[in-house]
Amino acid sequence: MNPERIILIGYRGSGKTTVGRLLAQKLGWEFADADDHLEGVAGKSIAEIFKAEGETGFRNRESAALADLCQRSRLVIATGGGAILRPANRDLLRSAGVVAWLATNPETSWKRLQGDPTTASRRPNLTPAGGFEEVQNLIAARTPLYRELAHFCADTDAQSPEEVAAAILNAWNCGLTRSSRSGASGSSSSD
């Protein structure tokens, strides 16, 4: 029997929220954006949390939000892009459900972030460089962690959100589980 959680990982702008909503609708499940959940519990925005508590404070809150969400069943979870940085988060996500990595290249991610009106106010720079250089560097640094954690990988550069959701749902329906994993794979694997 498949776990009753599908967890989406990937860098900012990979489509986790859009694909997550589509998946939840197709499954008749609930959808949760971990960043929205975190902000709701904190009563302030991610940018405000970063300003008041720094990245460590934000990451502590992020871990608590993931732990809460992973207690729920019949849930599609869109994680924050850096949720995979802490080993304890990776262990939690790995054991909580099927993990799908929405892979994107830096150019696509940057373009999507530029088109999102909430990016500047909600998502603080994580490095002094900021901008496209930050996107490039963080995707390169995080890719091995995404790859290690994922049961399934979908390339969101070349597919529509509907196609990505359908590919994940197909893999899930075929009984994709950690025990059947031989590496992050899917019909459209990407590095």
**What is the number of structural domains in the chain?**
1
For 46-81, the pLDDT digits (tens) are 989 999 999 999 999 999 999 999 999 999 999 999
HEC letters along the chain: CCCCEEEEECCCCCCHHHHHHHHHHHHCCEEEEHHHHHHHHHCCCHHHHHHHHHHHHHHHHHHHHHHHHCCCCCEEEECCCCHHHCHHHHHHHHHHCEEEEEECCHHHHHHHHHHCCCHHHHCCCCCCCCHHHHHHHHHHHHHHHHHHHCCEEEECCCCCHHHHHHHHHHHHHCCCCHHHCCCCEEEECCC
User: pLDDT per residue over 5-44, tens digit each?
Assistant: 999 999 988 999 999 999 999 999 999 999 999 999 999 9
Residue range(s) defining the domain that contains residue 103:
5-188
Q: Is the pTM of this model over 0.85?
A: yes
Per-chain mean pLDDT for the chain: 86
Residue 164: which CATH number? Answer: 3.40.50.300
